[in-house]
Amino acid sequence: MADTIIDLNCDAGAYAFREYPITTAAEVVADLKRFGITTAYVGSAPAITYVSPQPANERLIADLQGVSGVQVRPAAVLNPEYPGAMRDLRDCAAMGFRALKLYPTYHGFDLAGHQAVALVDEAAALGWPMLLAVRVEDERHHHPLMKVPALAMDKAVAFARNVAPATVVLCTATAAEIPMFLHGAQRDNVLAEISYVKGPLNAIEDLVSKVGSERLVFGSHLPFSYAQTALAKVREAPIGEEAVQAILSGNAARVLGV
């Protein structure tokens, strides 16, 4: 697995509130390839702020046609409470999507609600992981008319407990939030990616000392963050080569079978 890197948190497409230098599906995949990322779960950035995310999912699939160099596993962004979400999930499965990505604070749905649990159950039956976003950007950088709070960890933990045996990957959580989540949801198939672990200097080492390396996975958070930064923080952490490889690919491969 030394030459394999699996990215569990990546998006493509124009974001509503900010222009990023790497935007299109082709640009994102080229950047992933540039840094040796071999497999990536890619969601739609426009879908984050769409009232109905499905048209953005359809555009993502179209934009990924002909893009090569990385094994892309498209992640469907859906709002469980939007009418027709279950139909959209099934349509996404037919189009080749391989994961469900949820933004509960952006789409304003109840993670503990019947619709969310039912949609996740359907996705889990397809073998999809659930990618649960805590945030998109630093809350201090939001548009003044759209201040979106981070997902509370008690809600994330309750969700992970409610949807067993679905695989749940917490995305864009801080070094303080990840232990709260992983200690609260004690399941082997509940994971957290490290893209938003930004400090202190020894943050990855400290995180591994608190939760171990077995349930930590890699995420780049492209295009909102830099892939090379996410890779460097893992590779340069004094946690041992076995733990580095587990985070970069081994844990995801074990749990997701990729």
Six token digits for residue 122? 């359907």
Domain ranges of the chain: 6-256
Average pLDDT over residues 45-55: 97
Measure CA of the first residue to CA of the last residue in the chain; give whole Å. 11
Q: Which H helix or E strand runs over 183?
A: helix 177-184
Mean pLDDT for all residues in the chain: 95
**Which backbone phi and psi does 44 adopt, to 5 degrees?**
-100, 120
Structure confidence at residue 203 as a pLDDT band (50, 70, 90): very high
Structure confidence at residue 233 as a pLDDT band (50, 70, 90): very high
Q: What pLDDT, on a 0 to 100 scale, did the predictor assign at position 74?
A: 98
Return the ∠ at Cα 199 (arms to 193 and 203), rounded to 5°.
65
Q: What gap in Å lies between CA 170 and CA 13, rounded to an integer? A: 21
- What percentage of residues in the chain have a pLDDT greater than 90? 89
Six token digits for residue 244? 């580095």
Structure confidence at residue 138 as a pLDDT band (50, 70, 90): confident
Six token digits for residue 92? 């996404």
Q: What pLDDT, on a 0 to 100 scale, did the predictor assign at position 2?
A: 58
**Which backbone phi and psi does 110 adopt, to 5 degrees?**
-90, 115
Q: What gap in Å lies between CA 52 and CA 49, rounded to an integer? A: 9
| H helical segments located in 13-135 | 25-34, 54-64, 85-95, 104-107, 114-125
Q: Is the pLDDT of residue 82 over 70?
A: yes
Q: With beta carbons less than 8 A apart as the criterion, state whether 89 and 122 touch.
A: yes
Fold exhibited by the domain 6-256: TIM Barrel (3.20.20)
